[in-house]
C-alpha cells in the first residue's frame, strides 16, 4: 500500500492538504539550521512549504513516480526506503516526515535520523487527523464493507482521533527506544477546510483504503459517497487536527 499512492501523483498533490503554517514555523524555529531531510516526501507538499520558509530540502521516497513529481516542483529527491537510504556522509539540521512516518520502522527510523542529524538537530513527524460528517463517513464505510469485506478498513470501528493517538504514542515510544534524542514533545494544531462534493471525491482516491481499487469499483464507492454529500447540501466543513511528535538530538 505504501507504494500505491504514486498511481496518480498529480491527483495526490492536488487533493492532499498542506500543513498549517504554524507547524512549519514551529519546526523551522526549533531547527538549528536550514538543511532539512524530508522522509517519505511524496509529491513534495511539505518540502515546498519548508523551502518557502527558507530551508534547503532533500527528499527521500521509495516511489519513483512520486519522486518524479516532486522533482518537477523543484525538490531534489532520492529514491529509496529511508531505512535503506545511503546518506554518504551528509548531515542535516532537521529530519521531517509528513503523513509518512507510519511506513518507517518505529525504532530503526529514529535511530537512522539520529545518525544523520547534527548535534541539536530536530526530528519532527506529523500527520493530519480528520473525521468527515457521520453521514459521509458511514456511506464510505458501508461501500467498503460491500466491495472489500476483507479489508481492515471494513471492520474499523475506532474514531480517527483514537487511531492517531495510538499511532503517535507509538512514534514517541519508538523515539525513546531508539535513543539519541531528548524526550519527545507532542504538538497539535487545529484548523478546518471546506469541501465541495467534487473536492471530497477528488481527495478520497488518494487515501490508503482506496488507492488500489479497480476503476469501476472505485467509481461505485465514490458514487455512494457523493450521494451522501448531496444529501447534506453538496458541501461540508471538515475540522482537521495536525498532530506532531518532535525530539531534539542533544
From first to last of its 250 residues, what are the pLDDT tens digits of the chain? 666 666 789 999 999 999 999 999 999 999 999 999 999 999 999 999 999 999 999 999 999 999 999 999 999 999 999 999 999 999 999 999 999 999 999 999 999 999 999 999 999 999 999 999 999 999 999 998 888 777 666 556 678 889 899 999 999 999 999 999 999 999 999 999 999 999 999 999 998 778 878 889 899 999 999 999 999 999 999 999 999 999 999 9
All three cell numbers of 225, joined, read: 459517497
All three cell numbers of 128: 493530519
pTM of the model: 0.93
Which domains occur in the chain, in start order?
Answer: 5-131+159-194+239-248 (3.40.50.150)
Instruction: Identify the DSSP state of 154.
Output: T
- Residues 153 and 46 sit within 8 Å (Cβ to Cβ): no
Distance in angstroms between the alpha carbons of the first and the last residue of the chain: 35
Instruction: Indicate the SS3 state at residue 33.
Output: coil
Distance of alpha carbon 217 from alpha carbon 237, whole angstroms: 27
The span from the CA of 109 to the CA of 114, in Å, is 9
Amino acid at each position: 500500500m505504501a507504494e500505491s499512492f504514486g498511481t496518480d501523483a498529480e491527483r495526490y498533490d492536488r487533493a492532499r492538504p498542506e500543513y498549517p503554517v504554524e507547524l512549519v514555523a514551529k519546526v523551522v524555529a526549533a531547527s538549528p539550521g536550514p538543511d532539512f531531510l524530508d522522509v517519505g516526501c511524496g509529491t513534495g507538499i511539505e518540502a515546498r512549504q519548508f523551502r518557502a520558509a527558507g530551508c534547503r530540502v532533500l527528499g527521500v521516497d521509495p516511489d519513483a513516480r512520486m519522486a518524479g513529481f516532486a522533482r518537477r516542483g523543484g525538490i531534489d529527491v532520492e529514491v529509496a526506503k529511508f531505512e535503506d537510504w545511503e546518506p554518504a556522509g551528509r548531515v542535516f539540521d532537521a529530519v521531517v516526515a509528513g503523513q509518512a512516518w507510519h511506513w518507517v520502522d518505529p525504532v530503526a527510523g529514529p535511530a537512522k535520523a539520529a545518525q544523520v542529524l547534527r548535534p541539536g538537530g530536530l526530528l519532527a513527524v506529523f500527520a493530519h487527523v480528520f473525521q468527515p460528517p457521520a453521514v459521509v463517513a458511514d456511506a464510505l464505510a458501508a461501500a467498503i464493507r460491500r466491495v472489500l469485506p476483507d479489508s481492515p478498513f471494513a471492520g474499523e470501528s475506532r474514531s480517527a482521533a483514537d487511531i492517531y493517538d495510538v499511532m503517535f504514542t507509538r512514534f514517541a515510544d519508538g523515539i525513546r527506544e531508539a535513543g539519541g534524542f531528548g524526550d519527545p514533545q507532542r504538538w497539535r494544531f487545529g484548523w478546518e477546510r471546506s469541501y465541495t462534493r467534487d473536492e471530497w471525491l477528488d481527495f478520497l482516491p488518494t487515501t490508503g483504503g482506496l488507492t488500489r481499487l479497480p476503476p469501476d469499483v472505485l467509481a461505485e464507492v465514490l458514487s455512494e459517497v457523493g450521494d451522501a454529500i448531496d444529501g447534506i447540501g453538496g458541501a461540508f466543513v471538515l475540522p482537521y487536527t495536525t498532530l506532531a511528535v518532535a525530539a531534539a538530538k542533544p
